[in-house]
Copies of this chain bind each other. A is one copy, B any other.
Amino acid sequence: MTDEIAIIPGDGIGREVVPAAVRVLEATEPSFAFTEAEAGDAVAEREGTPLPDSTVETVEAADATLFGAAGETAADVILPLREAVGSFANVRPARAYPGVDALRPETDLVFVRENTEGVYSGIESDLGEGVTTLTRVVTESASRRIAEFGFAYADEHDADVTVTHKANVMRTTDGRFLDAVDAVAAERGADYDTELMDALATKLLLDPTQYDVVLCPNLAGDVLSDLAAGLVGGLGLLPSANVGADNALFEPVHGTAPDIAGEGVANPAAAILSAAMLLTHLGYEDEGARVRSAVERTLEEGPRTPDLGGTATTDEVAAAVVSRL
């Protein structure tokens, strides 16, 4: 069986790291059919929209998508794409790697972020007289779904679950989230801890080893996973998965890096690690693990791109990863 993979390089270094990741995917056993599609600032300038219908159709028809990055139009690209794959869970591992400078080298966390609601509802109003509102939506069904996903993920990885929230202030909405999580945990006989999101921001810095899987409402996951990026040395190494019931999109957490775009020296690690998550997601667990460990060895032994103190190009790093598969 051939899996259909949509490829969206996007803007900036997305155009460099996604081809590098595709090269790694091509070097693994599974047979993939790649279809490239466009999204981001460049296509917006040419066609008037950052996300052409044809791109959405390609993504919907594919078994999985690998996305790079988009510039100014990022939100107009990534939020609809998450919807297009029906993603309800955003999985963001944050790990420090030997050989890479990190503020907390012992960091090894996975954020499981609710990916459909909260302040991302899109429901905003300008009521006049300078008053604006946004409707933060939290539903039992979405809360249960992310909890089920998070606890199952934690089971598979033999990990503890911490649930973060701000229910002391957002009593009804985060209260509903916590109730749903608690009901799911009870059904599964699972344990978990809770932590206020502000307190967790302090504690993740003081001792990240206390945490494994962190189950988060949408915005909490956005902010805390970026905080964790700071713990492991920056956004350059973080992959992510946007998982839906029968489709998924994978993307490095980093952006377009306009300062180095076009020079061919962007670090492809996050994109290649995202490709590894794609492999695992499609059931190619051995291949996913092989890609992951080839990236780890390359981070540790080089060659390295300039962001990690090396002089290698994106292509040289990709070639090194391929040679270590």
Contact = CB atoms under 8 A, between A and B. Distances in A.
Please tell me how many copies of the chain the complex holds: 2
A141 B319 CA distance: 56
A206 interface: yes
A139 B129 CA distance: 8
A192 interface: no
A138 B133 CA distance: 6
A201 to B, nearest CB: 4
Given A169-B120, A206-B230, A230-B206, A132 B176 contact: yes
Contacts of A124: 170-173
Nearest to A238: B202
A224 B201 contact: yes
Interface in A151-192: 166, 168-173, 175-176
Interface of A: 74-75, 79, 103-104, 119-120, 124-126, 130-141, 166, 168-173, 175-176, 197-199, 201-206, 219, 222-227, 229-231, 233-235
Given A75-B168, A120-B169, A132-B176, 14 more contacts: A103-B103, A119-B136, A124-B171, A124-B173, A125-B172, A126-B176, A131-B140, A134-B135, A134-B136, A134-B170, A135-B135, A198-B225, A202-B226, A204-B230
A137 B141 contact: no
Contacts of A125: 172
